[in-house]
Amino acid sequence: MFESLSDKLQGVFRKLSGKGRVSEGDVNDAMREVRMALLEADVNFRVVKDFVARVREKSVGADVLESLSPAQQVVKIVNDELVALLGGDRTQLELAPTPPTVIMLCGLQGAGKTTLCGKMANWFRKQGRSPLMVACDIYRPAAIKQLQVLGEQIDIPVFTLPVEQHKSPPTIARQAVQHAVESGNDIILLDTAGRLAIDDELMDELGQMKAWVKPHEILLVVDAMVGQDAVNFAQQFNDRLAITGFVMTKMDGDTRGGAALSIREITGVPIKFLGTGEKLDALEPFHPDRLASRILGMGDILSLIEKAQEAVDEKKAAEIEKRLSENKFDLNDFLEQMQMMKKMGPLENIIKMLPGVGAALPKDVQIDPKIMVRKEAIVQSMTPKERANPQILTGSRRRRIASGCGQSVQEINQFLSEFEQMRKMMRMAMAQQPGGKGHAAKAVGAPRAPGVLRKMPKGGRRFGFPFRG
């Protein structure tokens, strides 16, 4: 997401940071490159023109050029303007004071409305709500069946009417609202039909549905890969339906990001969600400040924390911490940690959210997405006894494990060595915390003097832990 734009903007700022002082000419050169980067990302030219003009005006002031760190000041100005361009503060969904809340999803065919309906239903259930999905697309083959399959996957009800009844989508929506009231559903998600292009028949049908069920939110689903065309049809939808928000889908694809950066500025309608993958949990509330930080390579630690809170079982985490402090951390615990980490999403996405880490990685470094899968396969090829006691893994046992997971004995040996090194480092890190020295000293077999660590594991300082030799 925004990788090309992010790389180019970071390159511009690296040039500025290499200068002791920044002149007005340096700022103009930088803004020229910023303008080219935004245009290549398919951002609307009017948006680019206004954005660059605002940044240049604020960047050439005396307070900036004469400051101790003018390059950092320019980056801050770009960040602030980028946040403003994306909408400023986060705009949340408007929920009805008296349930149910009706949310109508509309958009062109192929934008991902039906999948998004499942994602939003799953997201609302995590918020403690009771959603109902409604199949209002009676034209696309298998659209109703697709929504029913999604409902089965996440165990959320789907309201449908038999096709032979020949009910219109507005009628289906109105009956769904009555059903939700009787069944106690407090969120109604209307999956409407799309077209390959906007036509009067489609818009009249959606207008009638809006008049009959009076939705609290009308969300336009926009394929982020469409580019500037998204802005054009977004304006037409807004003129006819007065949409209340956008959902940008396929943000994980090969998108340049121009639609997301243009659509809010041109229409004045906020973006409320981002679809970041194919899985039904790949949906993020839209935070302009966090997305701006990602684009500028400054990470997104708040989103990372939220993902961790969703993925980590607090009870299990406390048990693992206790086992570590008692020197009982084994490969069963390691496997649980890996499985919790996998729930947070692809490893490369997690790394990019760490401030300074993603931007610091060389461009030619490839993160193997299957590295976690291979490690998990090694552990799952062991018996419960071997996981609990890795020290009993003799040569013959290691050959059996290698055969079971399809890897070489050398890879098994390397994994076990890395695991042991990691376990020692984790114990030593805990030893530096108040109240943790006694446990760690006992764990590494130190003499009776508590808190004295006998030996730092090889490579420990590489990871930045303040170990004592």
C-alpha closest to that of 37 among 82, 87, 84, 83: 82
Question: Would you state the pLDDT for residue 162?
Answer: 83
Q: Please list the residue range(s) of the chain that carry CATH number 1.10.260.30.
A: 313-463
Question: Would you state the pLDDT for residue 464?
Answer: 36
To which CATH superfamily is domain 313-463 assigned?
A: Signal recognition particle, SRP54 subunit, M-domain (1.10.260.30)
pLDDT in 10s for each residue of the chain, 469 residues: 567 777 788 788 878 777 767 778 888 888 898 888 888 888 888 889 999 999 888 887 766 666 657 777 888 888 888 888 888 888 889 899 999 999 999 998 888 899 999 999 999 999 999 999 999 998 887 889 999 999 999 999 999 988 777 789 999 999 999 999 999 999 999 999 987 777 888 889 999 999 999 999 999 999 887 777 788 888 889 998 999 999 998 887 655 667 778 888 888 899 999 988 888 988 989 888 888 887 776 655 565 666 666 666 667 767 767 777 777 788 888 888 777 777 766 666 666 666 555 555 555 455 566 777 888 899 999 998 998 888 899 999 999 999 999 999 999 999 999 888 888 877 776 666 655 544 433 333 333 333 333 333 444 333 333 333 3
Q: Please list the residue range(s) of the chain that carry CATH number 3.40.50.300.
A: 101-298
Tell me: the pLDDT tens digits for 17-69?
A: 777 677 788 888 888 988 888 888 888 888 899 999 998 888 877 666 666 57
Q: Domain 3-85: which CATH class?
A: mainly alpha
Contact by Cβ (8 Å): 96, 216: yes
Question: Would you state the pLDDT for residue 452?
Answer: 33
To which CATH superfamily is domain 101-298 assigned?
A: P-loop containing nucleotide triphosphate hydrolases (3.40.50.300)
Task: Quote the CA–CA distance of 124 and 294 in Å, as a whole number.
Answer: 26
Q: Please list the residue range(s) of the chain that carry CATH number 1.20.120.140.
A: 3-85
Distances in whole angstroms, Cα of residue 59 to Cα of each of 46, 67, 146, 215: 20, 11, 52, 44
Long-range pairs, 144-152, Cβ under 8 A, ≥24: 146/114, 147/114, 147/117, 147/118, 147/191, 150/114, 150/115, 150/117, 150/118, 150/121, 150/280, 151/118, 151/121
Task: Quote the CA–CA distance of 319 and 56 in Å, as a whole number.
Answer: 54
For residue 233, count CB atoms less than 10 angstroms from its CB and return exposed for 0-12, middle for 13-18, buried for 19 or more: middle
What pTM was estimated for this model as a whole?
Answer: 0.67
